[in-house]
Amino acid sequence: MVEFYNPTWDDIEEQIFRIAKEMAKDNFLPDAIVAILTGGVIPAKLFADILNMKNIKYIDIKFYRDVGKTESKPVIKAVYVNDLDNKKVLVVDDVSDTGETLEAVTNVVSMFSPKVIRTATLYVKPWSRKIPDYYGDKVGKWIIFPWDKWDVVRTNPDAPVAKKEKYFELHNIFSRMRG
């Protein structure tokens, strides 16, 4: 039985503030943010607004697995990155679990010759091999983010997710349309 943790939107904002404070303390102002698709996109946008910058790039990477299960290695699907030469880069994701995703993404980013790469995730699992430079809390549960809950409940219909009946009703209509 997987244990779940459901951060509220308010919890998410607290992690963002906490991490941004640490970055301010370090005098670290990135020139660019690389958001890991898709979980890193909303945190990246929140950081960009706090840092007063708009320069967000994206890397699409997939780790094929179900909740609580892990397989081999993540696969880079697409790299929407340019102009990082000699720049300070912050790589952002929602959570680091094994650390494989952050490692693969920082390897790709380093090919663009940045001056500095730092990593930030809202949460990190206590067993992660790669501890991000910045993170909010350590959580040893499966985290259900506000932006990820339908994805979690699709593969785990018993997961504690509000309004899942509405989700399934609509999801099933579109699944039938797809045929």
Q: Which does 98 bind (CB under 5 to 8 A by kind): Mg ion, ligand 5GP, none?
A: ligand 5GP
> Are the beta carbons of 70 and 21 closer than 8 angstroms?
no
- Choose from ligand 5GP, Mg ion, none: what does 133 bind? Cβ within 5-8 Å by kind: none
Contact status: 98 vs ligand 5GP (CB under 6 A): yes
CB under 5 to 8 A by kind: which of Mg ion, ligand 5GP, none does 100 bind?
Answer: ligand 5GP
Instruction: Rule CB under 5 A: say whether 39 interacts with Mg ion.
Output: yes
Both structure tokens of 71: 């397989």
CA pair distance 69, 119, nearest whole angstrom: 24
**E strand or H helix at 30:** none
88 Cβ partners below 8 Å, 6+ apart? 28, 29, 30, 31, 32, 114, 115, 116, 118
- Report if residue 92 touches ligand 5GP, rule: CB under 6 A: no
Which residues from 6-25 bind ligand 5GP, rule CB under 6 A? Answer: none
Burial class (CB in 10 A: 0-12, 13-18, 19+), 41: middle
CB of 46 to ligand 5GP, least distance (A): 16
74 is a contact residue toward Mg ion (CB under 5 A)? no
55 or 98, CB closer to ligand 5GP? 98
Least CB distance to ligand 5GP at residue 134 (A): 15
Distance CA 41, CA 46 (A): 9
Candidates 31-39, 71-79, 115-123, 130-138; binding stretch for Mg ion (CB under 5 A): 31-39
145 binds ligand 5GP (CB under 6 A): yes
- State the sign of the Cα–Cα–Cα–Cα dihedral 37, 38, 41, 43: negative
Residues binding Mg ion (CB under 5 A): 39
